[in-house]
Amino acid sequence: MTETPEPPRAVITLRGAAFLGIGGMVGAGIFSLLGEAGSVAGSAVWISFLIAGGISLCLGYTLAKLGVQYPSSGGTVTYLVKGFGNGRLVGVASWLAYLTAVVVVGAMIARSFGDYAKSLFVGSDAGNGWTTLFAALIVLAAALVAFVGPRWVTRASSVIVTAELAVFAVFIVATFGDLHPHLLAPSGYPSLREIISAVALTFFAFLGFAVICFAAGDMRSPERDLPRAMYIALGSTTILYIAIALAVFGTLSVPEVVGYGPTAIAEAARGSLGDAGYTAMSVAALLSTSSAVISTLYASTGFTSALAEVGQFPPVFGTESRLGRHAGLSITTGLMLAFIVLFDLGALATIGSGVSLAGFALVGLAGLKLAPKIGARTTIVLTGITCSCVVLAVFLIDTYHDDPRAFWTMPLLLAGAIVTDLSWKRASRRGRAAVA
């Protein structure tokens, strides 16, 4: 009897993985957080981006080593399980990461898309309902792309990233010709502590680099392509962010950047290229945020199914769910839409930065524990962990003084993750006992 050959599995190339990572990073972070980071670090934000990029490279090194040793669409979930076992720590960390780094961050990025879409197509004075509508539409469109499969995800990311990088290149070249050196003078920089405190916010703009690891299970040669894709994506993004920060703060004063908020980059483009520059940068914002939403939803599929497979999430999130093999994607899409409709996510962006930084430090600890097995240099792994913890400590102290409500929301989210994990595990045990 002749066996029917399996259809060829869709694979992600080196170029596709690198573009996926760039698309995941160059999203709402650089647009929505540039003004907020500027309110802390002033015109020295470019230094905060440089430090955040260095920390991300160290963490990316660890993730790449883990990804080569354990290629899986489960990404960071797989690494935590390998490092700490399939216990309570992984369960709580996974729920916390899912609610913040996936659902909340995805919804925030979508709302940033909605703000730009409303300003470009309807008018900045239009009601907030337009923002919500456009945000919901991009989530649904991104879910459709992620549903089709990894090949379409990388194709969409490649096209979008190519277009947005072209716009950014024109913006940087044009704006650098109009720089005002006195606006970037070191004499106007704040203290080193404030620059470091802003690193937690600028690090938020790098969060998408982890999505590359979720593509490891779809790569033909992850041992060769995964590290290259990681370093290409992080190196390119770091250079881009520094150039954008210099361009914006070299043409606009710090109060102007803070006042313009999410549209500061577009306003800087207007100064050099006129209304056409403002429109082009707004289009780049739409491309960047849509690419980031696609990358986030794509990563959520492997993330949730891996957690369901190891018993940390309910089976409804898994590929064998009654909702179909894309159940995790469907649930995540629904939760994002709910957050978009019900919540103002501005404050949660700050919370997401802190929680995500702590999550990557935890993955770094898993890498440190597994360093001999994955062939990682402990000095690089330790550097990433130490820098993450130092930045997180400074960030928490400043948040406690500047925004107590946001500070106390973090332990509340942790408590929520613990309660959710305990409730699910208890219900799971009762279900198994009833069957027995």
**Could you tell me if 166 and 311 are in contact, meaning their C-beta atoms sit under 8 angstroms apart?**
no
pLDDT at 7: 42
Model-level pTM?
0.77
Provide the percentage of residues in the chain whose pLDDT is more than 70: 88
Distance CA 249, CA 139 (A): 32
| pLDDT tens per residue, range 108-127 | 888 888 888 888 888 877 88
DSSP letter for 12, please.
B
pLDDT at 380: 93
Dihedral sign (CA 128, 133, 138, 140):
positive
d(CA 101, CA 355) in angstroms, rounded, equals: 8
Contact (Cβ atoms closer than 8 angstroms) between residue 209 and residue 233: yes
In this predicted structure, the answer to whether residue 348 has a pLDDT above a threshold of 80 is: no
**3-class secondary structure, 219:** strand
pLDDT value at position 355? Answer: 77
State both tokens at 252.
């606009």
Confidence of residue 349 (pLDDT cuts 50, 70, 90): low
- For residues 235 and 94, the model is more confident at 235
pLDDT greater than 50 at residue 228:
yes
How much is the pLDDT for 97? Answer: 79
Per the rule left: phi > 0, alpha: psi between -120 and 50, beta: everything else, 123 is left
Both tokens assigned to 425:
């595990």
Q: What pLDDT sits at residue 263?
A: 76
Number of H helices, E strands in the chain: 20, 0
Alpha-carbon dihedral sign for residues 245, 248, 254, 259: negative
Q: Higher pLDDT residue, 153 or 401?
A: 401
Domain residue ranges in the chain: 14-424
What pLDDT was estimated at residue 137? 94
The per-residue pLDDT for 3 is 45
Q: Are 216 and 77 in contact (CB under 8 A)?
A: no
What 8-state DSSP symbol labels residue 358? H
Whether 49 shows a pLDDT value over 90: the answer reads yes
Residue 284 has a pLDDT of 82
**Average per-residue pLDDT for the chain:** 81
Dist CA 414 CA 401 (whole Å) = 20
**Residue 4's pLDDT band (boundaries 50, 70, 90)?**
very low
What are the distances in angstroms from CA 294 to CA 16, 150, 289?
Answer: 13, 11, 9
* Superfamily classification of domain 14-424: Amino acid/polyamine transporter I (1.20.1740.10)
